[in-house]
Amino acid sequence: MGENDQLQPNKNSAPWPFEDLPNVATFTSRHVLEGAPICFVYHGWDDGAWQFLPDRVTEQSDAKLVCLKNVFEIDASIGELADLPEGWMAKRADRSCRWERSRDHPYPVFADDGFYLDDATIYETLYPETYTIPAAAVRTSLQKGQLVKLIFRFADEWSSRQDNECERMWVEVIEVDDENGCYKGSLRNDPHLNQRISFGHEFWFHPVHVFAVEDEAS
């Protein structure tokens, strides 16, 4: 019998709520597989990996790699978190409690900062004939003092897209965090769409946020 043979699926089936395929690899704990409630859910920022953990320390020896479908069959309530963005987490005290969402990364979010940064790679994927962003090797090797262009969206992450919400602005790299693969920047423009931030505002950003680099900008 394999590792997954011990799983006990819920009797009531539910429609598949995730964009990820049912067989995508997912991290959990043997305690969850043995019946402990899922109390912490993490959606990885860099790799999009899911983690479903109990309310206890998960030692390396307890970690298990299963399919996302396996976890959903154990507890279909995780489907409520299908739209949890990468880089966010959710927690609850037990199965009877509602999920509480919060960011699990240092980057701006609308609720706290009044804006968030668009993933620039999506623009190139959706509109390859219109947008070409710098290569990953360039975006992951920025140095202090370089200027990069980021896309600021002054709206809630989960809201429908409207006109006049996004603004592309230049940011100076003022700190490089090699350990976590991110940067601290200082805004070099004053926004036209929102007055909550202004020239000199400092915040962290990730290589996927880089829409253009000054040396390469045409």
Confidence of residue 116 (pLDDT cuts 50, 70, 90): very high
Using CA atoms, how far apart are residues 152 and 157, in angstroms rounded to an integer? 11
Query: What one-character-per-residue DSSP string does 78-119 give?
Result: GGGGTTPPTTEEEE-SSTTSPPEEEE-SSS--HHHHS-EE--
- What pTM does this model have? 0.68
* Helix, strand, or coil (residue 30): helix
Distance of CA 79 to the CA centre of its chain: 17
Q: What is the pLDDT of residues 175-192, one digit of tens each?
A: 999 998 999 999 999 999
Q: How far is CA 214 from each of CA 57, 77, 124, 145, 171, rounded to the nearest angstrom?
A: 45, 46, 18, 11, 10
Measure the CA angle with vertex 202, ends 199 and 208; round to 5°.
Answer: 110
Whats the size of the chain, residue-wise?
A: 218
pLDDT, mean of residues 122-137? 90
Q: What is the pLDDT of residues 144-181, one digit of tens each?
A: 999 999 999 999 988 999 999 999 999 999 999 999 89
